[in-house]
């Protein structure tokens, strides 16, 4: 990149210049947009010809030969003169297709190319995201399986609670991601084509072209829809497809953002405890002032971008609410930003999260130490029950354990030393009948319930079947440039 170039003299969206993948950046590019417009004009001309309008093979061939050679400078100059982006590109296309000029955009309104192209971009955007989400889930599933029976402190209110396992906690993340997978797939599959509907959705211009033949107008809609790769079109539209479609699409992405934020917040909390860390490069610097730091910068990036993704949902909600009657143009500028940015943002958080999940580092000894500091308190009920079985009185035992627990808690909180409850129990002659049972009573694996079994069943029943359609696309390893 030329450091003296114009690109450094103006704002560039970090979503494209810094983060998002080439395929998602291309999906919302001008090249993809305007070549898709041209393809739609070709679909329309082919369908109109098939149904009897006087359009020649030569005209269609001429259009097909010039799909990709978009003169962006000419189009920009035309738009400056005409103040209309679609007509600017009609003129630009007609310039290189003079024979086809009379039939380009025949009977159509601007939203024929605008809205239909947006729907194609949404569909293709989901097709980029779904395999990436599958990759993240696959990596997390392997992680959960590997650590299915490794005990770790569970937390409620971010206070130590009963034990769980590292793998079971990963399944909590996976459960949310399985819901996101279904949401994205549903939003993608629910998309329909706007089709060939005319200026206010009545198809009046096409009915006139076909001299009142309703069947031909319906077949025209069906043919163009099929050529664009959609199974259905919306049966009724205004000038645009309903902007609630945008809500559905961006709602699925915003919900994914909430999941990723939760997952990465958990990873950041665990990094503070030094139990789990995201991958850290050999030469990576955590802090310019503190050389020892290993900041969870990838998880932080995911949280930062996830907030943006969640916030973008407000745009389509408000846009849909203010579309007066058949449509108003105050949707256009907003959608140029909110639709691409949502997909670009979802794209980078999934790539980043895949990088994190491929390199998560677990520190079992740290986890064990944290368990050791808390488990004696959690085991008090087990100790009481063992004493009762050995002939003790529950109330007497409870009182002795209560006093010893308070003393041990004071050592931990006031003196900053390790939990010595177990030593106090061993030193108290009252507990002599169960001294030889204490190690078994304090085995962490006896406190994790059915967590390993839950992990195994969840992965086999809920996760693996969802990933099956993407198995050929999950060998991609992510290398983050920044």
Q: What is the CATH number of domain 366-446?
A: 1.10.40.30
For residue 159, give Cα distances in angstroms to 154, 163, 279, 413: 8, 12, 26, 14
Looking at residue 481, its pLDDT comes to 62
Give Dmax (Cα) for the chain: 105
In eight-state DSSP terms, residue 193 is: B
In this prediction, residue 292 carries a pLDDT of: 47
Please tell me which residue, 429 or 148, carries the higher pLDDT value.
148
CATH code for the domain defined by 110-282+291-362? 1.20.200.10
For the stretch 268-325, pLDDT in tens is: 999 999 999 998 765 555 554 554 457 889 999 999 999 999 999 999 999 999 999 9
Mean pLDDT is lowest, of 85-94, 114-123, 209-218, 468-477, for 468-477
- Cα 420 from Cα 418, distance rounded (Å): 6
Which of 110, 242, 226, 174 lies closest to 460 in space, CA to CA?
174
Q: How confident is the model over 449-470, as a mean pLDDT? A: 96
pLDDT for 6 equals 72
At CA 182, angle to CA 177 and CA 188, rounded to 5? 125
**CATH for 27-96, options being 3.30.460.90, 3.40.47.10, 1.10.275.10, 3.40.50.2000:** 1.10.275.10
* Burial of 111 from C-beta contacts in 10 A (0-12 / 13-18 / 19+): buried
Domain ranges for the chain: 27-96, 110-282+291-362, 366-446
Is 31 a residue whose pLDDT tops 70?
yes
Given a cut of 90, whether residue 470 has pLDDT beyond it is yes
Residues 6 or more apart whose CB falls under 8 angstroms from that of 377 comprise 405, 408, 409, 419, 421
Q: Which residue has the tokens 């850290």?
A: 280
**Known active-site residue 84:** no
Determine which one of 4, 73, 157, 288 is catalytic. 157
Catalytic residue, chosen from 56, 287, 304, 460, is 287
Q: Is the pLDDT assigned to residue 4 strictly greater than 60? A: no
Q: Identify the bridge partners of residue 226 per DSSP, sorted by sequence position.
A: none
Q: Is 278 left (phi over 0), alpha (psi -120 to 50) or beta?
A: beta
């Amino acid at each position: 990149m030329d450091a003296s170039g114009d690109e450094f003299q103006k704002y560039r969206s970090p979503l494209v210049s810094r983060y998002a993948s080439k395929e998602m950046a291309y999906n919302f590019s001008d090249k993809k947009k305007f070549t898709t417009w041209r393809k739609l004009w070709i679909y329309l001309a082919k369908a109109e010809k098939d149904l009897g309008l006087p359009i020649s093979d030569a005209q269609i061939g001429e259009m097909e030969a010039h799909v990709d050679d978009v003169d962006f400078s000419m189009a920009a100059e035309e738009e400056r003169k005409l103040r209309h982006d679609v007509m600017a590109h009609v003129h630009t296309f007609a310039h290189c297709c003079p024979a086809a000029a009379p039939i380009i955009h025949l009977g159509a309104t601007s939203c024929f190319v605008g809205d239909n192209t947006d729907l194609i971009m949404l569909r293709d955007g989901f097709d980029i995201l779904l395999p990436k989400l599958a990759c993240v889930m696959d990596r997390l599933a392997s992680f959960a399986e590997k650590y299915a029976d490794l005990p770790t402190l569970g937390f409620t209110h971010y206070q130590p609670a009963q034990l769980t396992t590292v793998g079971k906690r990963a399944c909590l993340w996976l459960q949310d991601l399985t819901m996101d997978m279904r949401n994205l797939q549903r939003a993608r599959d629910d998309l329909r084509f706007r089709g060939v509907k005319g200026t206010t959705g009545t198809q009046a211009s096409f009915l006139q072209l076909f001299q009142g033949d309703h069947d031909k107008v319906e077949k025209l809609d069906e043919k163009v829809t099929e050529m664009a790769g959609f199974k259905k079109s919306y049966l009724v539209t205004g000038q645009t497809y309903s902007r609630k479609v945008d809500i559905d699409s961006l709602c699925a992405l915003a919900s994914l953002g909430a999941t990723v934020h939760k997952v990465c917040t958990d990873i950041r909390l665990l990094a503070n405890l030094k139990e789990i860390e995201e991958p850290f490069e050999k030469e990576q610097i955590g802090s310019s002032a503190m050389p020892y730091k290993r900041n969870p910068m990838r998880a932080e990036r995911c949280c930062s971008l996830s907030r943006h993704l969640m916030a973008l949902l407000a745009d389509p909600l408000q846009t849909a609410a203010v579309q007066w009657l058949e449509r108003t143009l105050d949707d256009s500028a907003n959608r140029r930003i909110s639709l691409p940015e949502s997909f670009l943002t979802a794209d980078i958080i999934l790539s980043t999260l895949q990088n994190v999940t491929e390199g998560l580092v677990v520190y079992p000894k740290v986890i064990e130490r944290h368990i050791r500091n808390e488990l004696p308190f959690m085991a008090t009920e087990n100790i009481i029950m063992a004493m009762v079985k050995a002939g003790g009185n529950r109330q007497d035992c409870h009182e002795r354990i209560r006093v010893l627990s308070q003393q041990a808690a004071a050592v931990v909180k006031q003196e900053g030393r390790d939990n010595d409850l177990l030593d106090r129990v061993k030193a108290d002659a009252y507990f002599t009948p169960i001294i030889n049972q204490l190690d078994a009573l304090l085995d962490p694996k006896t406190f994790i319930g059915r967590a390993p079994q839950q992990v195994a069943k969840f992965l086999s029943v809920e996760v693996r079947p969802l990933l099956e359609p993407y198995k050929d696309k999950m060998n991609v390893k992510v290398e983050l440039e920044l």
